[in-house]
Structure 1
Amino acid sequence: MVLPIPQLQRFIYSHYLLGGLRQSIGVLLPVTLLGGVFKLYDIGVVASMGAMCVAIVDQPGGPRRYRSNEMLGGAALGTFTAFITGLSSSSPILIWLLVPILSFLYSMLNVFGKRGGLIGFACLLLMALTLRFPMSPNEVLIHTLYSGGGAFFYFIFSTLFRKILLYREERRTLSVALFSTAEYMVRRSRFYDAETDLDDNYRDLIRVQADMTEAHQAARDMVLRELPKGGDSHAEAHRLALLSIFVNMVSLLDSLVATNTDYANLRRRMADSDFMIFARDALFKMAIDVGHIALNVSRHRKTKQRQSVKAELRALEFELERYKRSGLNTTEPEIYALLVQILRRLRNAQKTVDHMAAQTRSPSNDLPLDQYLDKSLSRFLSREEIRLGMFTSNLRWNSSHFRYAVRVSCATFLGLAVPTVVAYFSPDIEILSALTSYSHWIILTSLVIMKPGFALTKQRNSWRLMGTVLGCALTFILFKLTTQLEVYFFVMLIAYVLGNSLVQMNFMLSAVFNTIFVLLSFQFLHTGDSFVIGERLVDTIIGSVIALICSYILPWWESNSMSDFAQEAIKANKNYLRTGLYYAELNRQHNAATLRPDATTHALALSPEYLAQLEMDLNEADTQWQLARRNVHVSFSNFASGFYRMMNEPVSRQHNVALLNNLMIQSHVLASQISAAIPLLASLPEIPDGVATALTAIELEINNLDAPPIGSLETEGELAMLAYPLRQMIKAAQLIRQDMRGLVLSSGPPAPTQLDLLRPILDVGKPK
């Protein structure tokens, strides 16, 4: 069961294709205008190289105002890189010194996050391209001027491109997040299908949730930073519609995440009942609706034809009534309460989907806009801090960023060494020298492949090799089919657009199209010889081998980070529970003061000042709880991504797999049940003794403290719905505590420090 919207259609209307189109036009315009119109091909190529440096930083999905600063920083640093590399290009000794040093410094920019890594990678590629031929000092100045001009040209072009296509990228970024939500809903619906394997589906769900969390954060950064600010009424209505859809998407996700159920027990009890079938079909149909809404948001169209779930919801009501008549609500009150809860959540989810669809037809101002314009919302946005101390503090052997920078430096050093060694020992073998004559291409291949993690480097290595081989084969076939330069130029443009667009979605296909683009570019520079295909293939293989070898130099195994990921996930859950309980307490106080005021309450307690302060405290508590929920999703996504990266590493480097897998599952269960329990706790007039004892035990267990025995939980009325999530939270907290103990014990005693090793020597001669 997959989302019935073709991947090709989703790609066409995604921000990936829009970003690839923007990058490709901005990079190719200088060489097209200067070369095609003024016949200044050399100047156009250099300007396009500078533009490409900034285009790499200009990735889709980020906020415009921050990306502008990043592009300007990339343009300035890239221009400096072209200048110093050009000055060193005529001296082999300087090149051998400069290239490894720059490789190390620019690779260390990963300490500043994703954007810092992109700037460093762009400068490294520009450095490699500048190594193509030696230059005199005068040529260096001219080359730097042209390269810097191309870089700043791209910045201006990208800014104008967004002005012309106003809100297009915002819509497409939100669309990608909606598609991710729809995929998550499809995986959720499979839990109600008795034919699917629970463990396999759960692992699939975790992977999808990790990707969805990243897509949601990109949409959050884009939409919340572009909130309505007045001015043009049409623009304000359009932005407000995007904001409304985003808020509904988050609300839908929260409702789904809060439905973590004991599906194994539910399947044993309900088996292939009609209730399970109707629940599965209802959720799957809503996923289809969300997918169509995503498509229409991207295309800026109205959502008209939709999947109706009225029949499924009515059938669920009928089944529930039938179970009630048979006495299920008295014999098994928790199972019955769980079924009621499933039906309520499906109803709420359908209302949310209906509201999203309505916003695509006629945007309405039914959101508390003041709340969303509040400055406190800035806490939900992702921020990448930049401090010099972040760089210097990572200059140590146990830093993953430092180790990665060392590996990249070694790879570029070997990239310079291979052609030199071949030329020295085999000067008479012309074909061998020709095949390995482009050291910059070898370095480029290694830079593109190498990533901080071993598993990702190995994976990209195989993708790059397969993509290059396939791209060379397709280009060779094209050369045999036609010699028309017009056809070559058209294919080259299409290949470059697709290569840029697919780099974040499918690296192998991106490598295929980028290889075709480069080979066709060489055909324009060296017409009439297809030997260049063999040259690029051999250089790519050498670069891939170098990247594979260097990945074993000071490797950073994911198992080294898994304990930190687990602790961050647990810490996020602690904060989620704490802020949730505080929000529930304030909500009960607010309800008591406004909806059920006690006649004996002191007059001051019901004063307007008190109520206003209580309202402010409640809103702040609600914001804090939502922020904690966002942090739970992010920390869990990091934990899951790290775990699956570790599983792609050598078996000898996979440590505590069972413990970490169970920790990941229980962390997810705990967060889901907190999401389910807090709204119920907030709606109660007071907390029963059994519930209060259970909550105390959960807090103690999750803080690694012994909890008193838990008695029976009240299950009368609405409390039946609260019993199940509380029991699941207790069980999850106990298992998390147990697994964390096992994780600590498995790591063994801490390794001795240098001071510990030297202490016996230092203590010699000291008085006893």
Structure 2
Amino acid sequence: MASPIPQLKQFLYSHYFLGGLRQSIGVLLPVIILGRFFGHYDIGVIASMGATCVAIIDQPGGPRRYRNNEMLGGIALGTLTVALTGLASSEPLLLVLCVPLLCFLYSMFSVFGRRGGLIGFAALLLMTLTMRFPMQPQEVLAHTLYSFFGGLSYYLFSTLFRRLLWYREERQTLAVALFATAQYMEARAQFYDPGSDLDDCYRRLINLQSDMTDKHQAARDMVLRELPRGHGRGDYHRRALLTIFLNMVSILDSLVATYTDYTVLRRQVADSDFMVFARDGLHKLSLDIGRIAMNVSRSSSTRRRASVKAEIRAMEYELEHYRRQGMPEKDPETYALLVQVLRRLRNLNRIVDHMAGQTHRASQNLPVDQYLNKSLSRFLSREDVRLGMLTSNLKLKSSHFRYAARVSIASMIALGVGSLSSHFEAQLGLVSALTAHSYWIILTILVIMKPGFATTRQRNGWRLFGTVLGCAAAFVLFKLTDNREIYLAAMLLAYLLGNSLVQLNFMLSALFNTIFVILSFQFLSTGGSFIIGERLVDTLIGCAIAMAASYLLPSWEANAMTSLARAALAANQEFWRTGLEFARLSRLHNQGVKERQDSAPAQTDAQRDQLDLELMEADTAWQVANKNVHIAFSNFASAFYRMMDEPVSRQRNVSLLNNLLIQNHVLASQISAAVPLLANLTEVPPGIAQSLQAIGALIQDQDAEPPASIETEGDLAMLAYPIRQMSKAAQLIRQDMRGLEYEAGPQLPTEHKSAAGQSTA
């Protein structure tokens, strides 16, 4: 971790812990009130199950009104699910029909994205907890009502909790994104260490960038949906958060604004002190961002920072030394790289200085109207919910359909295993066998099984190990005491940690959730350590079924890699197009400013206003395209590394995809570097213009030949390097994409396959 802040301290001040605290109190409140004060622990646990369904849906992200609607929808679906499962629980045939059908239906909710998947999982969890014992029809109504009021009580509690701590979640979500930025910066610093392996550095950087992109998007959704209004309570805090967020985005843009050829640097200046100072400077800045993140999360000011002035001065001295030795003439590309690294460190230091100041006193000069523009809605993540999305995926080719079918088949197997237990325990009837064992097996399956094979296998191991440890801890607790007050306190602590750690450490989350569930059922029926043994055996069976079912109608990551590579290229194409348009309008704007200064304006006031509007729109479009490039690259990289965790026989085009991953990263980075330089030109020289046209044609899969030489006089020398890198990346991307399309075969139109075949021939 880049920051010296201990990870435990980060966790306690994170929105993960705050969310876990909110969910834990909201879920266990019925148990505490009904059990502690009225002695009805059984009713309290049932109500808590209904609250659990809503708590799973109550996750950060998305507009507040959408989250409220999602929770209310979860209450409705959960109540219906409890009623159906309760009525079927006493009839074996109905249970065998109802459970797989509900598993298929709610697993299909994954077509609606992450939020839809949470709603489906919450309903399935409630189904599983409801089928733990057979109920008579008269019991079903009471059970359903208890569950409904439990869900409603959580909704009301969560709404009140958010009103009381109305800005805490925003701060802590932003702090998590800042910590991820600090980690990313620390990973970039390792590239300047000649002793580190470049391939290992790149793998770590890409993984961190993927994780950082998700956390930046969560912060973006949170901050941009709670913009300063220019008046009212909390406007000061919103200004501070918005300014810090914009500074964080500027840091990311500065870090990825150009692709530095570290191979060239290590070959030419590996033993230079310049590399050491660059590494140390980035390391210090990453520490500062970690401190700022901690202070943002706890509403404190940052008064002490580590200075990088010494590193910057030393790098300036080294650069001057190289200039005197004639490096600009002998090796202009390496010299340009060194200048670029120095400028980037200066810029980062300035941004971090400004960010630290915002934690002490928020800027009051922030142009609020600019950020109230409706165009900002394009920066926010959206997940459409349409019935057509569900019906259009009811086909075998759909990965969502295949996943839902796997879950449904696994649930049927789990029910069959439960019925077989009646042959080994004569005292159990068929209904009791189905409910006494199957619900825990199905619960294990639902928690473990995910659409991707690699994720399922990974969670299988974590879940199994966490459950074993949780059962052992519960066994020790039962042996030490039978005090229900202690059990209740342990339930609260276990549920708090289980909810808080679910996104950070699945194994520890499984450990604490196992303790929570075992203690919950201890209030409903006394089984002691025998129940623990049953749960452990059922978990082993559930893990085995989940792993075996993963091979049924599997959705291997390799099948999606071609479409993800296309999406990454399409995002770069849009980034390129919007960047060139922004640069063109910027040149027109700068030209108009110069003409006004020379008292020879060629534009009317109306034309200038129109140009300003177009420039603002182009700037927004380019920034949105930049965000989309990061998201597309993150999706591509995540899927690639998941594929690498799958069986070797299921991995395809590894070298092609790895090269596409790198070259798309190079292309996006150099576009970020080149567009501001193009925007500041008076006019684009012919050689550079031809190169830009060739790059645009190449990424559109058209024949083009970049010119052999381009203008490098004066300030154009800084533009020459990114243009050459973009030309090389565009050529390699075109070549690799054609190879990938050829391998994709029947998925492509005939003309694409023939073109791909000609290129490889």
The TM-score bracket by the shorter chain reads over 0.9
CA contact (8 A) 1:499 1:514 kept: yes
Counterpart-to-counterpart distance in 1, 2:534 and 2:425:
17
Asked whether the equivalents of residues 436 and 538 of structure 1 are also in contact (C-alpha less than 8 Å), the reply is no
2:30 corresponds in structure 1 to 30
Q: What is the aligned partner in structure 2 of residue 323 from structure 1?
A: 322
The alpha-carbon deviation at position 87 of structure 1 amounts to 1.9
1:386-397 equivalences in 2 (<5 Å):
386-397=385-396
- Aligned ranges for residues 253-652 of structure 1 at < 5 Å? 253-424=252-423, 427=426, 437-527=436-526, 529-596=528-595, 605-652=602-649
Alignment match, 1:737? 734
Deviations 1:213-268 (A, max 9, x none): 000000000000011124425x1011110000001100110010113111001111
* Aligned-partner residue type, residue 334 of structure 1: E
Instruction: Show the counterpart of 1:75.
Output: 75
8 Å CA contact 2:419, 2:433 repeated in 1: no
1:463-495 deviation per Cα after TM superposition (whole angstroms, max 9, x unaligned): 100101111222223334445444433322211
- Residues 121 and 435 (structure 1 numbering): CA distance in 2 closer, same or farther, change over 3 Å? closer
Distance in 2 separating the partners of 1:247 and 1:366: 14
- Per the alignment, in what secondary structure is the counterpart of residue 530 of structure 1? helix
Look up the equivalent residue of 1:22 and give its one-letter code.
Answer: R
- C-alpha distance in structure 1 between counterparts of 2:63 and 2:458, whole Å: 30
Which residue of 2 is the match for residue 658 of structure 1?
655
Aligned to 2:720: 723
User: How far apart, CA to CA, are the structure 2 residues paired with 1:23 and 1:595?
Assistant: 59
Aligned-pair CA distance for 1:673: 0.5
User: Take 2:598 and 2:499, find their aligned partners in 1: how far apart are those partners?
Assistant: 68
8 A Cα contact 2:691 2:706, kept in partner: no
Note the C-alpha offset of 1:454: 0.8
Contact 2:498 2:512 in 1 (8 A): yes
Match of 2:20 in 1: 20
Q: Which residue of structure 1 lines up, in the alignment, with residue 243 of structure 2?
A: 244
- Contact kept? 1:20, 1:501, Cα under 8 Å: yes
The range that moved more, 241-250 or 471-480, is: 471-480
Q: CA–CA distance in 2 between the matches of 1:25 and 1:425?
A: 41
How far apart, in 1, do the equivalents of 2:749 and 2:680 lie?
A: 53
Write out per-residue CA displacement over residues 397-434 of structure 1, whole angstroms, 9 at most, x where no aligned residue: 0000000000111111111111202213663799xx99
* In structure 1, distance between residues paired with 2:450 and 2:695: 40
Q: TM-score, normalised by structure 2?
A: 0.95
C-alpha distance after superposition, 1:18-70 (max 9, x if no partner): 10111110000001101111112222111111100000001234442321111
Instruction: Pick which of 611-620 and 526-535 moved more.
Output: 526-535
Partner residue of 1:707? 704
- TM-score normalized by the length of structure 1: 0.95
Q: CA deviation at 1:682?
A: 0.6
Change (3 A) 1:196 1:10: same
Residue in 2 aligned with 1:138? 138
In the alignment, the residues of structure 2 paired with residue 345 and residue 242 of structure 1 have an alpha-carbon distance, to the nearest angstrom, of 24
State the Cα deviation string for residues 713-736 of structure 1 (Å, max 9, x = none).
222211111111111100100000
1:148–1:526 Cα change, 3 Å: closer
Displacement after TM superposition at 1:693 (Å): 1.2
The one-letter code matched in structure 1 to 2:13 is Y
| Structure 1 residues 528 and 624: alpha-carbon distance in aligned structure 2, compared to 1, 3 A threshold | closer
Deviation at 1:3? 3.3
Q: Deviations over 1:132-190 (max 9, x none)?
A: 22223332222211111111111110010011112000000000100111110001111
Matches of 1:257 and 1:307, distance apart in 2: 23
Q: CA RMSD in A?
A: 2.0
Q: Is the 8 A contact 1:436 1:535 kept in 2?
A: no
Distance 1:56 1:316 in 2: 51
How many Å apart are 1:607 and its aligned residue? 1.4
Task: Tell me the SS of whatever aligns to 1:437.
Answer: helix
8 Å Cα contact 2:572-2:664 kept in structure 1: yes
Paired letter, 2:124: L
Residues 640-680 of structure 1, C-alpha deviations (whole Å, 9 max, x = no match): 01001111111100000010000000000100010011111
Question: Hey, what's the Cα distance between the residues in 1 that align with 2:726 and 2:32?
Answer: 62
Distance 1:145 1:489 in 2: 23
Amino acid at match of 1:175: A
Q: Tell whether 2:687 aligns with 1:671.
A: no
* 8 A contact 1:96–1:416 mirrored in 2: yes
What are the Cα deviations for residues 260-303 of structure 1, in whole angstroms up to 9, with x where unaligned? Answer: 11100111111121111111111111111111100000000011
The letter of the residue matching 1:32 is I
- Deviations 1:591-637 (CA, angstroms, capped at 9, x unpaired): 01102559797x6x421111111111111100000000000000000
CA shift, 1:328, in A, is 1.5
Amino acid at match of 2:716: L
Moved more, 34-43 or 499-508: 34-43
Deviations 1:333-359 (A, max 9, x none): 222222112111111111111111101
3-state secondary structure, aligned to 1:398: coil
Indicate if the aligned counterparts of 1:51 and 1:147 stay in contact, CA closer than 8 A: yes
> Per-residue displacement from partner, 1:65-109 (whole Å, max 9, x unpaired)?
321111111111111111121222222111111111111111101
2:10 corresponding residue in structure 1: 10
1:655 and 1:19, CA in 2 relative to 1: closer, same or farther beyond 3 A? same
Question: Which amino acid letter does the alignment assign opposite residue 705 of structure 2?
Answer: P
User: Quick check: 1:248–1:356 contact (8 Å CA) kept in 2?
Assistant: yes
Structure 1 runs (4+) deviating above 6 angstroms are 433-436, 598-601
Residue range with higher mean Cα deviation, 181-190 or 39-48:
39-48
Give the stretch that moved more between structures: 111-120 or 479-488: 479-488
**Which residue number in structure 2 is paired with residue 215 of structure 1?**
215
Question: How far off its partner does 1:368 sit?
Answer: 2.1
CA contact (8 A) 2:186 2:282 kept: yes
1:200 is matched with 200
Correspondence for 2:689 among 685, 692, 707: 692
In 1, the alpha carbon distance for the partners of 2:43 and 2:481 equals 29
AA paired with 2:693?
T
Q: 1:743 to 1:512 in 2, by over 3 A?
A: same
Instruction: Give the whole-Å Cα distance in 2 for the aligned partners of 1:269 and 1:21.
Output: 53
Q: Distance in 2 between matches of 1:524 and 1:142?
A: 18
Post-superposition Cα deviations, 1:666-702, rounded to whole Å, max 9, x if no partner, equal 0001000100111111111111111111111111111
CA distance in 2: counterparts of 1:81 and 1:192, whole angstroms: 57
Residues 552 and 752 of structure 1: is their aligned pair in 2 closer, same or farther, counting only changes over 3 Å? farther
Q: Is the 8 A contact 1:572 1:628 kept in 2?
A: yes
Amino acid of the residue matched to residue 170 of structure 1?
E
C-alpha change, 1:528 and 1:49, in structure 2 (3 Å) is closer
Opposite residue 573 of structure 1, the aligned amino acid is N
CA change 1:491–1:598 in 2 (3 A) is closer
- What is the rounded CA distance, in whole Å, between the counterparts of 2:127 and 2:514 in structure 1? 20
1:435 touches 1:535 (CA, 8 Å); kept in 2? no
Mind listing any 5+ residue stretches in structure 1 that lack a counterpart? 754-768
Structure 2 residue 128 is the aligned partner of structure 1 residue 128: yes
Q: Secondary structure at the match of 1:553?
A: coil
Unaligned runs of 5+ in 2: 751-761
C-alpha distance in structure 1 between counterparts of 2:668 and 2:607, whole Å:
33
Count of matched residue pairs? 748
What SS does structure 2 have at the residue aligned with 1:606? coil
- Distance in 1 (alpha carbons) for counterparts of 2:534 and 2:336: 68
Matches of 2:164 and 2:425, distance apart in 1 = 56
Q: Which amino acid aligns with 1:416?
A: L
Taking every aligned residue pair, what percent have the same amino acid on both sides?
65
Q: Matched residues in 1 for 2:435 and 2:110: separation?
A: 30
